[in-house]
Amino acid sequence: MTASNDNRELRVLGIETSCDETAAAVVLRRGPASGEILSNLVRSQLDEHAAFGGVVPEIAARAHVEVADVIIKQAMAEAGLGWADLDGVAATAGPGLLGGLLVGLTTAKAIAAARALPLVAVNHLEAHALTVGLSDALEPPYLLLLVSGGHTQLLAVSGVGAYRRLGTTLDDALGEAFDKTAKLLGLPYPGGPEVEIKARQGDETRFDLPRPMVGRAEPHFSFAGLKTALRRRAEALGAVTDQDIADLCASFQRAVCDVMIDRTACAMALYEAAPGGNTERRLVVAGGVAANRALRKGLETLCAERGFTLHVPPAALCTDNGAMIAWAGAERLARGLSDGLDFAARARWPLDPDAAPATGAGVKA
């Protein structure tokens, strides 16, 4: 069920704890592709994980437990609402780190039970996919490029709950590849922004790095080989200078952008050639890596060449946040969809469970 004629106002609390941000927000849905963020609070755990160069699941779960109640109360207070004003409560139920998911989902269940509110167990990827309805008042259909620390996918979005996966990563997600590259070069965590900053000071032509999967018929991605090639170039230099690091970052980012443009162009062709055709040529980019300026510039050029319009939510709504969870919950509630208190958290939860298997090490569903 994807369509809705329900124009009732819905006020929904959203809770996000799938990784290393504890977030809560309240969103007002006025109707299809019409909403307002009443509050949106995010408590980052960067300091807790920085020393480890990545997210430690046990530390993340414990941090969620410590601050979730406080963040939720603050979100409600900022929205100026009481519990009786809510029409539902939504929480990320997957995919993500299971320990963190359990904290947010269990908290949402307790609120739903205590306040007799409907519960919506939200797919984190669907929340990213639908955010553009809140930020840009854009309804499906559109082509989605989802680029985050955990997922890199291309999907045809035809409605709420209706997704067709066109391509996925066969190994690392793009955000993961950026973070691993940064760690390899001794840059601070999180690595994506650090690599981008260094790349601006570097020569992107100095190192000839591979462009994995470019030209393939299916718009899948692979970044493990690129990361390995960069490591070998760095090792061959011996002691690297600051300029070496900048040039390596620039060369890596250039290779990544070339891959992303080629793979997205491939998906555009498949999207347009689908049965029934897709007359709405719109590309939506979501996920934390959407903030990368070089990638966005490349996608802008591609869209201009292919006759697509590009839609990217504000950076605060691309990274993990409670507003996107609340909005996805409201969209599902408007269609009469809610979940039981026995709904189980899921570490993996594909948007398109019928997609043909993609083979490779560490394939992200």
What pLDDT is attached to residue 359?
64
Distance CA 96, CA 90 (A): 16
Q: Judge whether residue 340 has pLDDT over 80.
A: yes
What pLDDT is attached to residue 181?
96
What pLDDT is attached to residue 277?
62
Domains annotated for the chain, with CATH where assigned, are 10-137+316-333 (3.30.420.40), 142-313 (3.30.420.40)
Instruction: Specify the higher pLDDT residue, 188 or 359.
Output: 188
**Side-chain-facing half-sphere of 252: CA atoms under 13 Å:** 37
Distance CA 13, CA 25 (A): 6
> What's 332's DSSP letter?
H
SS3 82: coil
Express each pLDDT in 249-269 by its tens digit. 999 999 999 999 999 999 999
Express each pLDDT in 155-184 by its tens digit. 999 999 999 999 999 999 999 999 999 999
Q: What percent of the chain has pLDDT over 90?
A: 83
User: Which residue spans within 169-225 are E strands per DSSP?
Assistant: none
What pLDDT is attached to residue 51?
75
List all residues 6 or more positions away from 52 whose beta carbon is below 8 Å from its beta carbon: 59, 189
pLDDT band at 137 (very low <50, low <70, confident <90, very high): very high
Distances (CA, A) of 332 to 118, 136, 257: 11, 18, 34
Residue type, 95: P
